[in-house]
Amino acid sequence: MQLSTFSDYAIRTLMHLAVADRHMLTTRQIAVIHGAKYNHLAKVTQWLVREGYVVSMRGRAGGLKLAMDTKEINVGLVLRDLESQSALVECMRADGGSCVLSPLCPLTTALKAAQTAFFDSLSQLTLHDLTNDNRPIGHLLSQLNGEVT
């Protein structure tokens, strides 16, 4: 299974905000640090705000910060929400796709089971699990924050 770039940036943004030590970060800062296109990351951060994971403050001292405790953000649920838009294979699309094997194909059942196992495994992780006492990533991101103007 491959995560979309959107999902990848969403998780990276959450991790970054978790280790930002309550400092507000702008979408532009996060985009620069992660080498992402600003417009793409803006869509990611808008989704995170809309879903209630992140709050956005406008103004000169504004930016983004987590809207809830890291222990409340379940990685598997975030990814399940993000990836539910895309099917692993054509026959798993909402419209059933056009594969002639779909009605009797055992691969569809196996792929659905694998996808469920993937998300269930990640649902055991919270953002806290990924970032708590993670001094190396916190140090790296704080160094990168210093490079962004």
What is the model's pLDDT at position 104? 79
Span 135-144, mean pLDDT?
68
Place of tokens 């469920």: 116
What is the model's pLDDT at position 148? 47
Same domain, 11 and 78: no
**pLDDT tens string 54-82:** 999 988 888 999 999 999 999 999 999 99
Same domain, 53 and 9: yes
What is the model's pLDDT at position 131? 87
Cβ neighbors of 75 (< 8 A, separation 6 or more) are 11, 122, 123, 125, 126, 127, 129, 130
Number of structural domains found in the chain: 2
Same domain, 115 and 139: no
Same domain, 2 and 39: yes
Quick check: 100 pLDDT over 50? yes
What is the model's pLDDT at position 144? 66
Contact 60, 76 (CB under 8 A): no
Same domain, 79 and 115: yes
Q: What spatial distance separates the first Cα and last Cα of the chain, rounded to whole Å? A: 36
Same domain, 82 and 27: no
Average confidence score pLDDT of the chain = 86
pTM: 0.84
Same domain, 34 and 19: yes
Domain ranges, residue 86: 74-125
Same domain, 138 and 91: no
CATH code of residue 134: 1.10.10.10
Quick check: 87 pLDDT over 90? no
Same domain, 64 and 134: yes
Same domain, 116 and 144: no
Which of 39-53, 82-96, 114-128 has maximum average pLDDT? Answer: 39-53
Same domain, 88 and 104: yes
